[in-house]
Homo-oligomer: A and B are copies of this chain.
Amino acid sequence: MALIVQKYGGTSVGDADRIKAVAARVAAAHDSGNQVVVVVSAMGDSTDRLVDLAAEVSGGRHPREMDMLLTAGERISMALLAMAIRDRGVEAMSLTGSQAGILTDTSHGEAKIRDIRAIRVREGLDQGRVVIVAGFQGVSPDTKEITTLGRGGSDATAVAMAAYLGADVCEIYTDVDGVFTADPRIVPGARKLDEVSFEEMLELAAAGARVLMMRSVEFARRFNVPLHVRSSFHDGEGTWVKENTMEDAAVTGVAHDLSEVKLTVRAVPDRPGVASAVFEPLSSAGVNVDMIVQNISHEGFTDISFTVARSDADRALGLARQAAAALGAGGVSLDDAIAKVSVVGAGMRTHPGIAARMFTVLADAGINIAMISTSPIRVSCVVDAAVAEEAVRLLHDAFDPPFEPQEESI
């Protein structure tokens, strides 16, 4: 008998028929002798509809009331799912984030999970029930207020619940078959990975792979919770995300990200403190900066380029312009048609030359590289958005991931 946490996203419970299909899957897992906890998101686009309704009623920011509003979404999906499971003769009960003991800090809209006290979840399991937990929501013990966890919150709920319960696996059900070596919509030959390590998955998520949020992967890595990313539409195996077990591939996947824009502060006087003058205000304003490149100085002046999320572009531009004026720099330019293309593989550590080969592949195709950044297991290049898909296809063809180069003979 295993203890399984299953997480179903909004698409998987988007209408009555899909809820019944999920119920069938949950009941099958239970009837096979497993203990099952189900974490569920709000139905389909219901969260968006509640956000629209709030915008109709109010132009203001009301984070506490927004959380009260949005948490209605999972309440609806979880109650319906419990009914559908019970119809199959399996005892089931739904619990809100608060009832399930998801304790968070006080930040409405983007709360962090601080602790789990899933007493009622354990009780339910001990009574032989399937327990359905509302994703995305919790309660702050300090203020006694209902909170939401922000983007990727339901995955975070599932992983945290799995960690607390010591689950054998946390299954993340989604509308794709698993984690692929590249986006199959762009690379027809992309392959589903049977297995990927936590650290590779973190790099893939950071590089733009949408299937899992970094936050929940980080959580799973810290508590060593094996994740199984799989389709909610069929029974086939998906991708396991866990600690390294097999030989590391030099290149596990090619990822791309069109969600960022590039800003360049031009002709910055090259003296100590200029980077701080540019980036400290961004940090204080909560703007996340991804890549940073500072060019080699030329006659006492340098250019500083960096990327931020598209949604932060306007704020970042304003702050960078203020910093540029204060520094006596030449000005700030914004390029909003960029793409970040990355190759990721834990085997890079022991197989040098991956970066060089990536640059050659792009150069041979006449693709200009605007920025480069690397981690021990990732190389990312910023290129023109217009050639992003071509770049991904070329790199996937060149490396053929999961690519395991021949060991050199001694």
Interface residues of A (CB under 8 A from B): 16, 19-20, 50, 53-54, 56-60, 62, 64-66, 68-69, 71-73, 75-76, 78-80, 82-84, 86-87, 93-94, 96, 99, 120, 144
Are A71 and B60 closer than 8 Å at their CB atoms?
no
Q: Shortest distance in angstroms between A329's beta carbon and chain B's nearest beta carbon?
A: 40
A43 closest partner in B (C-beta): B53
Given contacts A57-B83, A59-B87, A62-B82, 6 further A-B contacts (CB under 8 A): A54-B80, A58-B87, A60-B83, A62-B83, A68-B96, A72-B79
Jot down 19 A-B pairs with beta carbons below 8 A, ordered by A: A16-B53, A53-B76, A54-B80, A58-B83, A60-B83, A60-B87, A64-B93, A65-B79, A65-B80, A66-B79, A68-B79, A68-B94, A68-B96, A69-B80, A72-B72, A72-B75, A72-B76, A99-B144, A120-B144
Q: Shortest distance in angstroms between A395's beta carbon and chain B's nearest beta carbon?
A: 45
Most chain B CB within a 10 A radius of its CB, from A56, A62, A68, A94: A68
What are the residues of chain B within 8 A of A56 when measuring CB–CB?
16
Are B79 and A20 closer than 8 Å at their CB atoms?
no
Across the interface, A80 reaches (CB within 8 A) one of B19, B53, B71, B86, namely B53
Across the interface, A57 reaches (CB within 8 A) one of B19, B64, B71, B144, namely B19
What are the residues of chain B within 8 A of A73 when measuring CB–CB?
72
A64 closest partner in B (C-beta): B93
Are A75 and B83 closer than 8 Å at their CB atoms?
no
